[in-house]
Amino acid sequence: DAGITQSPRYKITETGRQVTLMCHQTWSHSYMFWYRQDLGHGLRLIYYSAAADITDKGEVPDGYVVSRSKTENFPLTLESATRSQTSVYFCASSFLGERAQPQHFGDGTRLSIL
Amino acid sequence: DAKTTQPNSMESNEEEPVHLPCNHSTISGTDYIHWYRQLPSQGPEYVIHGLTSNVNNRMASLAIAEDRKSSTLILHRATLRDAAVYYCILRDVSSSNTGKLIFGQGTTLQVKP
């Protein structure tokens, strides 16, 4: 099916471990985004990418690494997970980045770090 | 970034119209008004957006006040599947390149059968 898919949907890991969250979209959208959603903070932008091999920081990038070797994939890596990174992570994409373009979100990855 | 104000919660009966208000008194001339909704355990879903004129699509209508300081999302016939948190978001020039969407607390809509 066309759309944006995230995997895994649920993940439990331990402090200090490396974990990678996957995001795949089939629309050939140029822009892709990673957000995290926490109670009391709403959604906050972690990283975004305007095209393959172009990435940039959002509001809360510390502790995260991204890459984008192909247009359709935008993985998010927590190199050494901490409890404060327990959250729901959403990937999104849009055709362009300008303000009239809607973003389309995946169903999220629920990450728990023990 | 210009902020929006929405009621925390609203209730509606199934098959009746719902009007979800949003105030944005500090909106600038280049801000687009976007609406998203988030169903339980799902990611946010784009609903509609507009700049100055009223807009309609298959999901909803967006009515924008003449002075643009407020807007209303209209669901013409609410269904149980419309129960969600609805977010009114302004997208300004400064957020264009980052793609940042600033989500507030939104309005939690309950739909009663």
- pLDDT 10s digits, B17-31: 999 999 999 998 888
How far apart are the C-alpha atoms of A98 and A65, rounded to whole Å? 24
In this prediction, residue A19 has a pLDDT band, given cuts at 50, 70 and 90, of: very high
Separation CA B97–CA B99 (nearest Å): 6
β-strand pairing of B45-50 with B55-56: unpaired
Helix, coil or strand: residue A101: coil
Lowest mean pLDDT among A37-46, A56-65, A69-78, B68-77: A37-46
User: Counting Cβ atoms within 10 Å, is residue B97 exposed (0-12), middle (13-18) or buried (19+)?
Assistant: middle
Strand-strand pairing, A109-113 and B18-23: unpaired
Q: What is the 3-state secondary structure (H, E, C) of B5-48?
A: ECCCEEEEECCCCEEEEEECCCCCCCCEEEEEEECCCCCCEEEE
Residue A1 has pLDDT above 60, yes or no: no
**B1-20 per-position pLDDT tens digit:** 568 999 999 999 999 999 99
Q: Do B103 and A33 touch (CB under 8 A)?
A: no
The minimum CA-CA distance between B64 and chain A, rounded to whole Å, is: 16
Query: What residues of B are in contact with residue A104 (Cβ under 8 Å)?
Result: 46
**DSSP tag of A68:** -
Residue B92, min C-alpha distance to chain A (Å): 6
Give the pLDDT confidence score for residue B99 in this predicted structure.
65
> Is residue B99 a contact partner of residue A97, using CB atoms and an 8 Å limit?
yes
For B58, which DSSP code? S
Q: Which long-range contacts (CB under 8 A, 24 or more apart) does A60-65 make?
A: A60/A36, A64/A34
Q: Which residues contact A72 (CB under 8 A, 6 or more apart)?
A: A24, A25, A26, A28
Q: Do B91 and A45 touch (CB under 8 A)?
A: no
Nearest to B96 among A43, A56, A97 (CB): A97
Q: How far is CA B11 from the centre of its chain?
A: 16
Report pLDDT for B41.
87
Question: Does residue B97 contact residue B90 with C-beta atoms inside 8 Å?
Answer: no
Mean residue pLDDT of chain B comes to: 91
Question: What are the pLDDT digits (tens) for B91-107?
Answer: 876 665 566 788 888 99
For residue B45, list chain A residues with Cβ-Cβ distance below 8 A.
105
Interface of A with B in 60-89 (CB under 8 A): none
- The answer to whether B46 contacts A104, with C-beta atoms less than 8 Å apart, is yes
Strands (E), chain A: 4-7, 10-13, 19-25, 31-38, 42-51, 54-57, 64-66, 76-78, 87-94, 104-105, 109-113
d(CA B8, CA B105): 7
Q: Does B49 touch chain A (CB under 8 A)?
A: yes
pLDDT at B67: 95
Q: How far away is chain B from the Cα of A64, in angstroms, using its nearest Cα? A: 17
CB of B3 within 8 Å of any CB in chain A? no
The predicted model gives B69-88 an average pLDDT of: 96
pLDDT band, very low/low/confident/very high, at A39 (cuts 50, 70, 90): confident
